């Protein structure tokens, strides 16, 4: 197999399915381009010698039985859906890499001792319907009918109608969790700029960050900007400024891997000559250590209350996302690291600051990820790029990892 050539052909062909006239690629769950992409992947998996099947919801699997331990499965894959106007690598690079890596192994070494399986997961991004990880959550029997029964996309199209239109349906909830899976390995673009800045080809991911997200509203008093002396003001934006500045200073003191972001700020009435009587803002905080994340955000909550008291403001604090950090499996991380070393690839052990299917799967099966560099760290954009040579190295390290896991006794 001429890996470089085949990889490029597969990425180009799959990127054509769902290419969006308004830019990039748009392949939303249960849309026609989404189904066409899954059918293309099915054909490619079969060409690599794999037996394919769809599950009820539209996850696509391709499998070759192990000769000695067929009931032990080594699995690799990622998601086939994209964000609106997304790039050509997020998700599908991991799908293509997994079936090409397995195809390469079959061609080079024959059938494995353990079964090898690739998966093209139906959905991860949450970009059409207000739900995410539909593919991986169905795979590990976590998805609930009630989560999606009443949801629609922005055009008012019903989730269930769309699922059924494409020939899929809810999974049989009595089906037990698969017990054959020994390892899950996902390859993905970094979507950040660390590997590029440090001139590395591969990131071996040992954990996925936990995230806490808040919306905070501070209420004071809107007043005339000219006739209200400083001492008589209840200025909500002043409160926000104190809170954000102190919190960001603390985040710098704390250092990596903590990150703290005030991404959305909405003052009212947002007018040049009125003291802002109200401000709503978001706070997004991430860390690989759950305890440290908890401590930092508790400190943040106390600061909000303290500043509000000092300035005579009312504070509403709403914590609406609280996801724990997910460690990757040490043994699988070790296999990827060994694979990178045996291929003489420059790598680093790193965490993922973004969410991935692997965080859903990791609590059930030994799981780890590897990253390839993203040029300028750009993702979820038509500008998403990785050097073809780096993409090839990623597939080689993945193949070497799968070899260790599936061909060694």
**Residue 322 has which token pair?**
């609280």
Round to whole Å and give the CA distance between 126 and 145.
Answer: 16
Round to whole Å and give the CA distance between 41 and 118.
Answer: 10
Least CB distance to Zn ion at residue 267 (A): 34
**Residue 248 has which token pair?**
């960001």
**Residue 56 has which token pair?**
């009820």
Least CB distance to Zn ion at residue 405 (A): 22
Q: Using CB under 5 A, list all residues that contact Zn ion.
A: 90-91
Smaller CB separation from Zn ion, 236 or 361? 361
* 73-to-104, 285, 332 alpha-carbon distances in Å: 18, 36, 14
Round to whole Å and give the CA distance between 28 and 157.
Answer: 13
Smaller CB separation from Zn ion, 91 or 276? 91
Task: Write out the H or E segment, with its range, that includes residue 279.
Answer: strand 278-287
Residue 117 in 3-state DSSP? strand
Residue 107 in 3-state DSSP? helix
Smaller CB separation from Zn ion, 182 or 380? 380
Q: Produce one character per residue of 189-219: b if its CB has 16 or more CB atoms within 10 Å, e if not.
A: bbbbebbbeeebbbbbbbbbbbbbbbebbbb
**Residue 383 has which token pair?**
């500008």
Smaller CB separation from Zn ion, 91 or 192? 91
Least CB distance to Zn ion at residue 91 (A): 4
Least CB distance to Zn ion at residue 307 (A): 37
Least CB distance to Zn ion at residue 381 (A): 13
Place of tokens 């799908």: 95
Least CB distance to Zn ion at residue 79 (A): 6
Smaller CB separation from Zn ion, 119 or 304? 119
Smaller CB separation from Zn ion, 95 or 336? 95
Smaller CB separation from Zn ion, 72 or 81? 81
Q: How many CB atoms lie within 10 A of CB 6?
A: 18
Phi, psi of 343 (to 5 degrees): -90, 0
257 upstream amide cis, omega within 30 of 0? yes
Least CB distance to Zn ion at residue 13 (A): 19
Round to whole Å and give the CA distance between 394 and 93.
Answer: 10
């Amino acid at each position: 197999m001429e890996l470089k050539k085949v990889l490029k052909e597969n990425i180009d062909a799959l990127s054509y399915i769902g290419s969006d006239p308004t830019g990039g690629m748009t392949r939303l769950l249960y849309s026609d381009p989404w189904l066409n992409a899954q059918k293309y992947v099915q054909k490619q998996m079969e060409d690599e010698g794999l037996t394919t099947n769809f599950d009820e919801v539209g996850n696509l699997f391709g499998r070759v039985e192990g000769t000695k331990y067929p009931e032990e499965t080594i699995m690799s894959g990622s998601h086939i859906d994209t964000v609106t106007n997304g790039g050509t690598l997020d998700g599908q690079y991991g799908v293509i890499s997994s079936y090409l890596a397995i195809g390469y192994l079959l061609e080079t070494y024959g059938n494995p001792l353990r079964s090898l399986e690739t998966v093209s997961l139906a959905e991860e991004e949450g970009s059409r319907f207000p739900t995410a990880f539909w593919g991986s959550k169905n795979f590990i029997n976590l998805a609930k009918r009630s989560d999606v029964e009443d949801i629609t996309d922005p055009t008012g199209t019903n989730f269930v109608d769309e699922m059924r239109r494409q020939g899929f349906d809810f999974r049989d909830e009595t089906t037990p969790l698969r017990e054959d899976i020994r390892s899950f390995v996902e390859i993905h673009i970094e979507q950040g700029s660390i590997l590029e800045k440090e001139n590395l080809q591969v990131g071996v991911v040992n954990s996925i960050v936990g995230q806490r997200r808040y919306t905070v509203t501070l209420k004071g008093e809107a007043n005339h900007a000219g006739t209200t002396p400083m001492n008589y003001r209840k200025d909500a934006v002043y409160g926000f400024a104190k809170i954000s500045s102190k919190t960001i200073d603390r985040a710098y003191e704390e250092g990596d891997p903590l990150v703290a972001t005030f991404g959305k700020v909405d003052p009212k009435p947002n007018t040049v000559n009125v003291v802002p009587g109200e401000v709503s803002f978001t706070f997004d905080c991430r860390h690989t250590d759950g305890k440290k994340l908890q401590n930092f955000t508790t400190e943040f909550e106390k600061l909000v209350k303290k500043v509000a008291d000092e300035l005579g403001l009312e504070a509403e604090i709403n914590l609406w996302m609280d996801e724990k950090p997910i460690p990757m499996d040490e043994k699988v991380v070790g296999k990827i690291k060994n694979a990178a070393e045996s291929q003489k690839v420059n790598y680093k052990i790193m965490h993922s600051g973004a969410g991935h299917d692997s965080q859903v799967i990791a609590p059930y099966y030994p799981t780890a990820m590897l990253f390839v560099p993203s040029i300028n760290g750009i993702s979820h954009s038509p500008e998403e790029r990785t050097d073809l040579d780096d993409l090839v190295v990623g597939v080689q390290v993945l193949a070497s990892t799968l070899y260790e896991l599936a061909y060694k006794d």
